[in-house]
Structures are given as C-alpha cells and as structure tokens.
Amino acid sequence: MVIFLGQELAVGTEHELALRVRDYECDLQGVVNNAVYMNYLEHARHEFLKSRSVNFAEVTRQGIHLVVVRAELDYKQSLTPGDRFLIRTRFEQDGRLKIIFIQNIIRLDDQALMLSARITATALNEKGRPFVPEDILAKLA
C-alpha cells in the first residue's frame, strides 16, 4: 500500500509511505541527522502494521509488547531539507521468535537509494519472554 500525502494506493505485499524532509530534522551540515532516520523507519513500521490491521495500542493492552532487538542501517546518501522520499517496508519471518522488517528509503526526485535497513523485532509476553503470536504473523504475511 502506498500512502502519499494522505492518499492510499495498493501495491502488493510491500508497504510504502511517502514523506518530506522538514528543516528541523537536519543538522548543522544541512543533511538529515542520522538519528532521524530511525524515527522515519519506526513511523513506516507502525503504518505497515496498521495497514495489516495490527493495532499497536490494542496489542499492548493485551500484554503483548512489540520490540526492536536489533537495527542495521546502511546509510547510502543524505536527504536534505525539502526532499520528498519513500519508505518501502516488507516483512520476513526468521524462525519462531523474530520478525524482520526490510526497509529502504528512496529519494523520489531521482529514485536514489538513501538508506537500507534490516530491523529485527519480536514480541514479549507479560512475563518478558519472547514469542510471536500466530494471529499477528498471519496478518503480516
């Protein structure tokens, strides 16, 4: 699904979210601060979950905590103020306990790959033990 400036378009199993760089997200060098990319990726993952009918707040109320356990980011180029970009997110399962989000940030003006990421997540039960509920996996697939 593509969400572009509030408009949703279906594109298969990948989720896409279009955003624009805001001035305050940039550092003194005039590029997006590296920590801001984590915010972009998290927002895109939450939108991905919503698009699959996984309500993050409701899951938490049920005592299931979705958590990131590893983040691998490869910075390719820098976004600058005003750049329009797309975050592509897809899901993979790694064994019984890991959820992998493969995410890429693409600058829209020239389709340049700005960042590629592999985010490993899991769910924790009320006792803090990892598990991934089958109903959530079914919605993500």
**Of the residues 23, 27, 83, 109, which is catalytic?**
27
Q: Is 74 a catalytic residue?
A: no
Instruction: Assess contact for 73 and 115: CB atoms under 8 A.
Output: yes
> Quick one: residue 87, left, alpha or beta (phi over 0 = left, psi -120 to 50 = alpha)?
beta
Cβ atoms within 10 Å, residue 123? 18
- The catalytic site residues sit at 27
